[in-house]
């Protein structure tokens, strides 16, 4: 065998157990293209003393084959705080990498592509938050983690979709400002009865779902269980059987074992939950998050090889932003 062929044969042998995790999603002919990067990433992780935190929206080969920790944004934040390794690679979007850096500032945090943003984070600036405060004096500001560190720094407390209700209730006030996701704010207002002053930010993935989509899905797939992310418009959440964070949706499928399910959220999430729940059949309307999809095995490998792109937060912003995130983590 030529040396190159022998190398590839060795890579395929080493990665064979990992292929078993994703064989239902990745055809055998495509696997060698992934296997080489996966093998290199596993070696680089050991050399760099690095861990990879991956969001539930990452593609199956990242989520299942190279990640050390997977979860929703709340889980990734909690786990980032506990990381003892020297380097954290965040396979997700920029605000998640910033949150990891805020919570574990002595670690080097890398984001494989700086363009991995978020339409919600883009929708608001720190100056906007100051204007909201000036307009509603004394009303506490709850900021979704899907924001920049500068916006978090202007906030009293952060929340994720996994704890928004508890965070709002923990404040014990009749009125809060909740930024920047208008639909999450409206969904939380309905759940808590607390009056919520919202901002007109939207997730470009979830705002596309409509109540008509839900009705069509039900008509075409009798008995299908509909799960929605709370970034969806309230009229969509109202028609769903359950709404929750990405982790809550995944847990719902594992616990309830529906015969047929549709997840009204980002596309790759269904792939990952389907791999863990082979008895459930998934209906798949596919809305991709272009920002999440910026992260690939190739740029994770480069991130580790070249130690880029390091997340750095202005110290003037980091202190108050950290306090808002830590205050959120104290809410149980
Ligand atoms: P989760 O916190 O539910 O994982 O959501 C993050 C996100 O970006 C959803 O679009
Ligand atoms: Fe942002 Fe929406 Fe993408 Fe989540 S799915 S990262 S909220 S744009």
Write out pLDDT tens, residues 64-98. Answer: 999 999 999 999 999 999 999 999 999 999 999 99
Residue 318 lies in a domain: no
Residue 317 lies in a domain: no
Residue 325 lies in a domain: no
Residues 65 and 143 in one domain: no
Average pLDDT over residues 148-165: 98
Ligand 2: residue whose CA is nearest its atom 3: 289
Average pLDDT over residues 5-33: 96
Quick one: which ligand is closest to 147's CA? Answer: 2
pLDDT at 4: 65
Residues 229 and 126 in one domain: no
Q: Is the pTM here over 0.95, yes or no?
A: yes
Tell me phi and psi for residue 117, to 5 degrees: -100, -145
How far, in Å, from the CA of 72 to the mean position of ligand 2? 12
Who lines ligand 2 at CB under 6 A? Answer: 93, 118-120, 146, 203-205, 231, 266, 289, 291-292
Q: Is the CB of 162 under 6 A from ligand 1?
A: yes
| Residue 11 pLDDT > 90 | yes
Instruction: Please classify residue 204 by burial: count the beta carbons closer than 10 Å to its beta carbon, then call 0-12 exposed, 13-18 middle and 19+ buried.
Output: middle
Average pLDDT over residues 30-57: 98
Residues 235 and 257 in one domain: yes
How far, in Å, from the CA of 53 to the mean position of ligand 1? 14
CATH code at 59?
Answer: 3.40.50.10800
Residues 106 and 144 in one domain: no
| Residue 215 pLDDT > 80 | yes
Residue 211 lies in a domain: yes
Ligand 2: residue whose CA is nearest its atom 6: 118
Residue 32 lies in a domain: yes
Strand partners for 1? none
Average pLDDT over residues 130-146: 98
In which domain, by residue range, is 31 found?
6-117+292-306
Mean residue pLDDT of the chain comes to 97
| Residue 177 pLDDT > 80 | yes
Residues 199 and 255 in one domain: no
Q: Which of 2-6, 193-197, 291-295, 316-320 has the lowest mean pLDDT?
A: 2-6
pLDDT at 3: 74
Residue 248 lies in a domain: yes
pLDDT at 2: 77
How far, in Å, from the CA of 4 to the mean position of ligand 1? 41
Q: Specify the number of domains making up the chain.
A: 3
| Residue 1 pLDDT > 90 | no
Which two tokens mark 190?
A: 């309905």
Tell me phi and psi for residue 29, to 5 degrees: -65, -25
Tell me phi and psi for residue 86, to 5 degrees: -75, -30
Residues 110 and 133 in one domain: no
Residue 97 lies in a domain: yes
Residues 112 and 126 in one domain: no
Which two tokens mark 20?
A: 């078993």
Residues 126 and 177 in one domain: yes
Residue 332 lies in a domain: no
């Amino acid at each position: 065998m030529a040396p190159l062929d022998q190398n590839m044969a060795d890579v395929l042998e080493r990665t064979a157990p990992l292929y078993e995790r994703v064989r239902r999603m990745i055809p055998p002919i495509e696997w060698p293209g992934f296997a080489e990067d996966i093998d290199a990433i596993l070696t680089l992780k050991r050399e760099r003393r690095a861990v990879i935190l991956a969001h539930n929206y990452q593609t199956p080969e990242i989520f299942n084959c190279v990640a050390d920790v997977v979860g929703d944004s709340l889980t990734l934040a909690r786990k980032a705080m506990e990381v003892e390794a020297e380097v954290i690679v965040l396979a997700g979007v920029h605000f998640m990498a910033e949150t990891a850096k805020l919570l574990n500032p002595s670690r080097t945090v890398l984001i494989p592509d700086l363009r991995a943003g978020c339409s919600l984070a883009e929708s608001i600036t720190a100056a906007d938050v100051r204007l909201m405060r000036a307009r509603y004096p004394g009303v506490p500001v709850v900021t979704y983690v899907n924001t920049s560190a500068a916006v978090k720094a202007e906030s009293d407390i952060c929340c994720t979709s996994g704890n928004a209700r508890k965070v709002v209730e923990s404040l014990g006030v009749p009125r809060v400002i909740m930024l920047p996701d208008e639909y999450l704010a409206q969904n939380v207002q309905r759940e808590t009865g607390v009056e919520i002053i919202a901002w007109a930010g939207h997730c470009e993935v979830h705002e596309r779902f409509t109540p008509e989509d839900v009705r069509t899905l039900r008509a075409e797939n009798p008995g299908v269980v509909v799960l929605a992310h709370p970034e969806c418009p309230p009229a969509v959440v109202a028609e769903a059987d359950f709404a929750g964070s990405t982790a809550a949706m995944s847990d719902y499928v594992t616990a309830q074992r529906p015969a047929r399910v549709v997840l009204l959220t980002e596309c790759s999430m269904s792939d990952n939950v389907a791999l863990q729940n082979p008895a459930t059949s998934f209906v798949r309307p596919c809305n991709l998050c272009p920002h999440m999809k910026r992260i690939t095995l190739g740029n994770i490998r480069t991130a580790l090889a070249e130690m880029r792109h390091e997340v750095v937060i202005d110290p003037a912003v980091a202190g108050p932003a950290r306090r808002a995130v830590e205050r959120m983590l104290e809410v149980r």
